Amino acid sequence: MVRTMSEDATPQPKHQGLIVVIDGPAGAGKSTVARRVAGALKLPVLDTGAIYRTVALAGDRAGVGWGDGEGLAALAATMPLGFVAATVAISGRQEVWLGEEEVTDAIRTPHISDGASRVSSLPPVREALLGLQRKLGKSGCVGEGRDLGTVVFPDADHKFFLTASTPVRAQRRHRELLARGGDVPSEAQVLAAMQERDARDSGREVAPLARAEDAREVDSTGATIDEVVAQILQHVDGS
């Protein structure tokens, strides 16, 4: 029987380890904050955006279009995805592998950002990746994404929704791209692409970007990473 997303959103059997989820739009600082929080709590990071990005890349490589939900779902179900957890602690960067190829940087280009947003709006793709995300995170993790508090781990121990103003998010993403080098779009182009992606991520029918009712909202607009991390750890430790 094919399960629907709404059935999958019902509470799952209690997970085994501590699960902290950080959802929010692109550029709010989720990745950096999640890594720091995970380091402090000695938990692995579960970067679910990287999973959608890898599906987009795998689709590109295999000639499966970003609109082909069934084709991408089949690819997602079998793609040899590997996360190297230990690298986060050493370098602050988590290696992502697709079979024999390290794709850590290849999945961060503007082209693949666009593809990830497109493939993640397709219900068969989300369904194909749900079990994988739960399996990867259930022993304990700091998960980051868009629907972790609402769909993937509705019974997470701690839920946060990280936001920042759109211009600040675009500025941060632009700096990240500059630091990575290569052909970098202008900040205005990054802002326009981000607004398009935000609209698609929030407007899709299945598991849109949304704050879970029981998630604590943290606005990182005028805050440093240290302040945001401290705020989150304070809630986790104090509960």
Note the residues at the interface with ligand DC (CB under 6 A).
26, 48-49, 52-53, 116-117, 120, 145-148, 197, 201
List of residues 6+ apart from 112 with CB closer than 8 A? 53, 56, 57, 60, 106
Nearer to ligand DC, 127 or 201 (CB): 201
Are 141 and 19 in contact, with CB atoms under 8 Å apart? yes
Beta bridge partners of 218: 162
Nearer to ligand DC, 6 or 234 (CB): 6
- Phi/psi-derived region of residue 207, left when phi > 0, alpha when psi is between -120 and 50, beta in every other case: left
Rounded-to-integer distance, Cα 235 and Cα 239, Å: 6
CB of residue 130 to ligand DC, shortest distance in Å: 10
Nearer to ligand DC, 41 or 113 (CB): 113
CB of residue 237 to ligand DC, shortest distance in Å: 25
CB of residue 198 to ligand DC, shortest distance in Å: 9
CB of residue 53 to ligand DC, shortest distance in Å: 5
Query: Which residue of the chain is nearest ligand DC when measured via CB?
Result: 49
**Which residue carries 């202008």 as its tokens?**
186
Are 19 and 143 in contact, with CB atoms under 8 Å apart? yes
Nearer to ligand DC, 1 or 49 (CB): 49
CB of residue 148 to ligand DC, shortest distance in Å: 6
Nearer to ligand DC, 146 or 172 (CB): 146
Cα angle 134, 135, 136 (rounded to 5 degrees) comes to: 95
